[in-house]
Amino acid sequence: MEQFIVSARKYRPQVFEDVVGQQAITKTLENAIKNNHLAQALLFTGPRGVGKTTCARILAKRINQEHLEKVNPDEDFAFNIFELDAASNNSVDDIRSLTDQVRIPPQTGHFKVYIIDEVHMLSQAAFNAFLKTLEEPPAHAIFILATTEKHKIIPTILSRCQIFDFKRIGVTDIKNYLHKIAIEEHIEAEDDALHIIAQKADGALRDALSIFDRVLSFSGTKLTRLDVVENLNVLDYEVYFNMTDLILKHQIPQLLIAYNEVLSKGFEGLHFIVGLASHFRDLLVAKDGATVELLEVGSRAKERYLLQAKSCEVDFLLQAIDLANTCDLNFKSSKNQRLLVELTLMKLASINFNPDHLDEKKKPKLNLIPASFYSQLPEEATKKSSVIVAETNAEYQIEKLEVEVEKQAATHPVKVTKIIDKKVVKALTDATDQTKITGINAIRRTSALSLKSLQEKANLKANQPENKPLVALPETPFTDAQFFEVWNEVVTHFTESNQKVFVSVLNANIPKIKGH
């Protein structure tokens, strides 16, 4: 049985033309070799799986070939190429051993090439021991340093190297390369399936090839979108299309059921809400023909986006993106993460909800009432609310006064007996009612400290009628006993009339007869 070779090794580029997504760097290196302008210390930096070590190996072969116009990829220069893993050889002794080897010239070819991978793992002492050799190497030695974390390399090393920054490989470039491999391997692969693999790789071609091998082991010689989604455990874009349709139709119950199905498949709420926000972003991009090219999706998915974007307003998409982004930011700090996502879905379904067919009493309450709503209220409604508040305050003040008077009466109890004519009782009752009404009106009026209140008091005093006796007072002399008998009758009358305030006032103020 023939041993299986992973695609990342089987299809590793052997010439600069086969390197994917790094055309600027490969062209620079080719011109440097052709014009003899190649530096003796190179630093290749960039993310994982973008071709740093591959370009270093191709460069090491190219500069050792005797006839540059006749490139032979199979020509072996293994004795002239030395690869060192700095992660396991990071001591000063390892660097000293390397500098001792550098002094020996190559037996075949023109140059000895030293490829030091993960150079940022060298210790501080090893970096310092390497400085002199790196600055003034022998004419036959070329150093190629590769790292994914350039910021960990000391500045004195960086200043001695010619730096090449490798970029992430685009989704389209990875998809095209996978399509090329699928043709060579006689595999029938859907365009959307390859696109999902390219997106999952996150700019690393080596990761894309590893995923490609894994999915092929699952699906066989036919690679479909559903197989890729199931094997990689990612949410299919059909989920987001269906969710958006339910949101546009304001179907909140179905939305919650669909979200529960997503959770039952093992997906996290954060993964779902991030994907939903990206879906709204893609719909917004698809609204304008000038930005359609920003859609990093397959051909079939692009048609779906263009179709659904026609039924979405720009204002709706902007609000939807904002709500989804807010949910994303608050997700980790939320104690009930499922409720947070469900609340976001309900808000999304309520963005353009306009229940004009419902009665005013049956309309649902809005989540957030806009400020413009209050500016459109009629003036009569504002006045009515002010009167209600004033009346409530007046009643509260009267009740407060009654409680205070009762407290004073309790501390100063007075037992008196009085008698008064029924006409006097009626007059005092009317006067009491009038006093109570006047007190309520006074509470409803403006503040006593305002200029308006001072003017009202002056006008009231000017228009006040002369004081006249309420009833004809007795002219014949009477004794103290007769007076207190009448007084007691008055108190009894007001007590039976349930006028507690006035009774408390009478008990708190004991009358005194002059001359007795």
Q: Do 251 and 237 meet the contact criterion of CB atoms below 8 Å apart?
A: no
CA dihedral of 271, 274, 278, 279, whole degrees rounded to 10: 60
Alpha-carbon distance of 474 to 483, in angstroms, equals 11
Domain spans of the chain, in order of start: 22-165, 171-232, 237-371
For residue 116, what are the β-bridge partners?
Answer: 84, 145
pLDDT tens string for the chain (516 positions)? 567 788 888 888 888 888 888 899 999 999 998 888 888 899 999 999 898 999 998 888 888 775 555 655 566 666 788 888 888 888 888 888 888 888 888 877 788 889 988 888 888 888 888 888 888 888 888 999 999 999 999 998 899 899 999 999 988 889 999 999 999 888 888 888 888 898 888 888 999 999 999 988 888 888 888 888 888 888 888 899 999 999 998 888 899 999 999 999 888 899 999 999 999 999 999 888 788 888 888 778 888 888 898 888 889 999 999 999 999 999 999 999 999 999 999 999 888 776 554 445 444 454 533 334 335 545 544 444 444 444 445 455 555 555 554 555 555 544 433 434 444 445 445 545 554 444 445 445 555 556 666 677 777 767 766 655 555 566 677 777 777 888 888 888 888 887 877 778 777 777 777 665
Rounded to an integer, what is the distance from CA 75 to the centroid of its chain? 56
| CATH of region 237-371 | 1.20.272.10
Alpha-carbon distance of 53 to 164, in angstroms, equals 12
What one-letter code names the amino acid at 5? I
Which residues have C-beta within 8 Å of that of residue 8, sequence separation ≥ 6?
206, 209, 210
Alpha-carbon distance of 326 to 323, in angstroms, equals 5
Pairing of strands 162-165, 41-45: parallel
Alpha-carbon distance of 69 to 108, in angstroms, equals 19
For residue 189, what are the β-bridge partners?
Answer: 223
22-165 belongs to which homologous superfamily?
P-loop containing nucleotide triphosphate hydrolases (3.40.50.300)
CA dihedral of 447, 449, 450, 454, whole degrees rounded to 10: 100
Residues in the chain: 516
What one-letter code names the amino acid at 94? D
Alpha-carbon distance of 115 to 41, in angstroms, equals 10
What one-letter code names the amino acid at 501? V
Query: Which class is 171-232 in CATH?
Result: mainly alpha
For residue 145, what are the β-bridge partners?
Answer: 43, 116
Alpha-carbon distance of 177 to 180, in angstroms, equals 5
